[in-house]
Structures are given as structure tokens and as C-alpha cells.
Amino acid sequence: MLNEKYKTNKPRKDRQVWYKLDLSANVYPTLQRKNFSSVFRLSCLLKEEVRPDILQEALDRTIHRFPSFHVAIRKGLFWRYLEPNRNPGPFVMPDIINPCMPMPFKSKHQHLIRIYYYDRRIALEIFHSVADGGGGMFFLKTLIAVYLRLLGHEIPDTFGVLDINEPPHREELEDAYLRYASSKIRLPRSQQKAYQVSGTKEQFHTLNIICGVIPTDKILAAAKRYKVSLTEYLNAVLIYSLLEKQKSDGNFRLKPVTLAIPVSLRKYFPSMTLRNFIAMIYPTVDPRYGDYTFEEIVDQVHFYMRYHLNAKYMNASISTNMSATRNLFVRIVPLFIKDFILKRYYMRIGDKQASAGLTNLGPQSVPEEMKEHIERFDVLMGQPFSAKTNCAVISFGNVLTVNFASSIVETDVEMVFFRKLISDGIPVKIESNRNMEVL
């Protein structure tokens, strides 16, 4: 929640502006550990090589338009909060092979975003307490627009590009959960444990990426053949891959395969917020009922998503989570006790509810003048909390990218996933940062 109206003409008042963490944002710092932070990456591949000096200039101009991104995280007695970061930076850096590194809050300069460049790519990494993918895309598109303008191109402020000369709208900084969580029903918090991918854990500071570059029209045509949406089709393919993996593991006891899917709530509840505004859904296929054909998996996912993806269910989901933070007893419990309980809950229950994560940021639109400079966008869900794989999807024009991020050596899930796409007649180009010697 915005504590005080943001006034750009009075920079000295910055110290008084602080933000309560929103509902989702409260969870991520709790899970922080030496080798894990909830960091995700959005990147854009341009058609020309990136000039770091111009990019830094663009960043310096853009960051002031996004005060909720220029913050540091602090501990209160009962809750954490965000306050303006007055340290120098953030500074653009050469990209690295192991993105989404942990982001320690007490490290140098304490910024919660990082900007990298490599060849033609500009990458933005965000600590999840600051924003979700939807909010982050506004920042990235605006940054790229400012960068292109500095190179002499005319880019208008439309299609997600915000005007950097305007002060931020109050609604951009709001905690939208507070405004919309009003359902009277409470959903069950936990469900049965899902199948967990087993594999050889990579050493610290390693994040394996496998990126599939796919023509959007081809994959849309394939989804249409199954009479489902693109997201439903990709969810079904991932569940199919995980079921195959479980079968090949030869486990005596089978477990349900469940995906954790973040859903942007902006579609259901109008809000301009740039901060977190997501809810989770968990489509499941339980192999204990018997072997499922791919068509049956598609049906399961399709009907699950059609049943759950509506404003009422989403409201019930966020209201259930909000009820805990609104509870007076929970509020007066000291932060270290909350951290202890929440972390244990997540490790024992929350993390085991899903076999993998899949997010789809959907088709991205940019001003017509920007299109000719951009080849594609990528999104990376970042390091999983436990040894599993995460999948993130985004499309721009006729280029759709599916990025798998995992901290295990084996590539079984990714291999079945992309082979299934190939067998459905979808051409896939693979790029990876994997060091093949370790396999």
C-alpha cells in the first residue's frame, strides 16, 4: 500500500514514501536463503548489438518513472516493507551464464532489480516482491523505448510503454489485492503431494536454461487441432512430459502430476498496478486412475482451466490468502516467528504441491515503430526452490519462446516436451547455456 502520495517535485520527501509488501510479495523474502532468491528474468532480443553506455543512460532516465522498482527491502518488527533505494545505481552489467542469481538484501547497494546486456539482448531481473511478470514487462518495454529513442528513433508512449516525463499514476503503486479480495468463501489451502522430479542437483551458481524458439502460428494451429487454447495445450504437453518422466523413474507408488500456474489477475480485475497481482491455479492429472492418452490430458487441463479461470474463483483464491494477513493474531506475531512458520509450511507443503511451474505471459504488443527493432522477448522463471524445472512462455509476433530453467543435470522433461511438439508438427529451434561436458 502506498503510504503517502508520491510527489516527484519533492525528492527530499522520498524517505517518507514506503510500501507495505503485497500479498504475494510477503512470501518471497521468507523463502530467501544463501543459494535461493525468488528472481525472474524478462529479456528482449533486439536486431542490433546493445550499446551499454546508451542503455545505462536509458536506465537512469527510466528508473525514476518506476519508484516501486527503485527500492530496497527492509525488516520491520512484524512485516517487511519496501522503501526508496538511495544508493547509486542500478547499473547495467555484462550478462552472465547463470542468470537469476540469489539477490541478498544486505548486499552492496541492495537493489532489487538487475539489468544485463549481451550481444543484442537486454535482460531485466526482478526480485518477485517488487513486481510480477506483467508489471516487469511495463518496465522493460519502457526501458527499451527510451533506449531506442536515445539512438534516434521515434517511439510513442503506447502499448505498455509509459511516459517517463509523467509522474507515476497512484494506481500503478497500489496493492490491488487489498482492493479486490472480497470473497466470503475460503478455499482449502493445501492439496495432496504432487510428483517431484528427481535428478542430480547442480552445484551452486548453476541454472540450466533450454530455450525453444517456435513459430507462433504453427503452435496455435496445433492447439486449435485439439480445440484448446495455447496455454492449455502447453500445460497439457508439460503434464504429459512429467507423466512420462514419472513412468520412466519406475516408482512403486505413483503420485499426481500437478502444475503451479500463476495467473495475472489484471484480466479479471481492472488495475494499473505494476506490483504483484497474480493468483495460482493447479491443474492436475492423477496417474493412479490409469494411463492417460495425450488427448485425455488435454481434456483434463481444458476443463480444469475453464472451471477455475473466472473472476469469482480467483477472488476466492486471493481472499483466502488475504484472510491470513488480515487476521489480527497473525499481524501481531513478530516477523521472525512468521518467517519460521511460513518457511516450514512452504518447505513441507507449499513446495510439494506442484511438480513444475508454468507461466505464460502471452502475446506482447509494442508500438509499431518499435517492432522493427525487436526480434523476440524471453521470460525465465528463475531458480526453482527445490530440484525441479520451471517453464515460462512468451510470444512476440510470430516468435514464441518456451524457456525451461532447472537446477538439475538431467533434461528428461524438456526432451519429452520438445519431442512432443515436434511430433505434433511444430518446428522447434533449441538454444541452451548447458555445459554438455557435465552430462
Residue ranges in contact with other proteins by CB under 8 A? 94-99, 101-102, 104, 106-108, 118-119, 189-190, 205, 209-212, 341, 344-345, 348-349, 411, 414-415, 418-419, 422, 427-434, 436, 439
Q: Provide the minimum distance between the beta carbon of 162 and other proteins in the complex, in angstroms, as a whole number.
A: 29
Task: Give dist(CA 27, CA 21) in Å, integer.
Answer: 9
Q: Provide the minimum distance between the beta carbon of 131 and other proteins in the complex, in angstroms, as a whole number.
A: 21
Q: Provide the minimum distance between the beta carbon of 432 and other proteins in the complex, in angstroms, as a whole number.
A: 3
Q: Provide the minimum distance between the beta carbon of 99 and other proteins in the complex, in angstroms, as a whole number.
A: 8
Which of residues 16 and 190 has its CB atom nearest to other proteins in the complex? 190
Task: Give dist(CA 241, CA 233) in Å, integer.
Answer: 12
Task: Give dist(CA 206, CA 186) in Å, integer.
Answer: 39
Q: Provide the minimum distance between the beta carbon of 16 and other proteins in the complex, in angstroms, as a whole number.
A: 25
Which of residues 212 and 357 has its CB atom nearest to other proteins in the complex? 212
Q: 385: closest CA among 432, 417, 418, 353?
A: 353
Task: Give dist(CA 174, CA 171) in Å, integer.
Answer: 5
Q: Provide the minimum distance between the beta carbon of 428 and other proteins in the complex, in angstroms, as a whole number.
A: 5
Q: Provide the minimum distance between the beta carbon of 334 and other proteins in the complex, in angstroms, as a whole number.
A: 16
Which of residues 210 and 298 has its CB atom nearest to other proteins in the complex? 210
Cα-trace Rg, the chain: 21
**Which residues, including other chains, have CB under 8 Å from residue 147's CB and lie 6 or more apart?**
54, 55, 58, 122
Task: Give dist(CA 339, CA 166) in Å, integer.
Answer: 38
Task: Give dist(CA 128, CA 30) in Å, integer.
Answer: 12
Amino acid code (one letter) for 75:
K
Alpha helices in 17-104 (DSSP H): 27-30, 52-63
Which of residues 169 and 189 has its CB atom nearest to other proteins in the complex? 189
Task: Give dist(CA 47, CA 66) in Å, integer.
Answer: 26
Task: Give dist(CA 267, CA 310) in Å, integer.
Answer: 10
Which of residues 97 and 221 has its CB atom nearest to other proteins in the complex? 97
Q: Residue 305 — φ and ψ, nearest 5°?
A: -70, -35
C-alpha cell at 306: 475453464
The secondary structure element, H or E, covering residue 405 is: strand 399-406
Which of residues 37 and 300 has its CB atom nearest to other proteins in the complex? 37
SS3 266: helix
Q: Provide the minimum distance between the beta carbon of 175 and other proteins in the complex, in angstroms, as a whole number.
A: 24
Which of residues 314 and 421 has its CB atom nearest to other proteins in the complex? 421
Which of residues 101 and 309 has its CB atom nearest to other proteins in the complex? 101
Which of residues 221 and 341 has its CB atom nearest to other proteins in the complex? 341
Which of residues 301 and 405 has its CB atom nearest to other proteins in the complex? 405
Q: 142: closest CA among 65, 85, 75?
A: 65
CB count in 10 Å sphere of residue 254: 15
C-alpha cell at 418: 520438445
SS3 271: coil
Q: Provide the minimum distance between the beta carbon of 436 and other proteins in the complex, in angstroms, as a whole number.
A: 5
Q: Provide the minimum distance between the beta carbon of 44 and other proteins in the complex, in angstroms, as a whole number.
A: 14
* Residue pointed to by grid coordinates 511444430: 426
Q: Provide the minimum distance between the beta carbon of 279 and other proteins in the complex, in angstroms, as a whole number.
A: 21
DSSP one-letter code for 201: B
Which of residues 221 and 311 has its CB atom nearest to other proteins in the complex? 221
Task: Give dist(CA 278, CA 17) in Å, integer.
Answer: 24
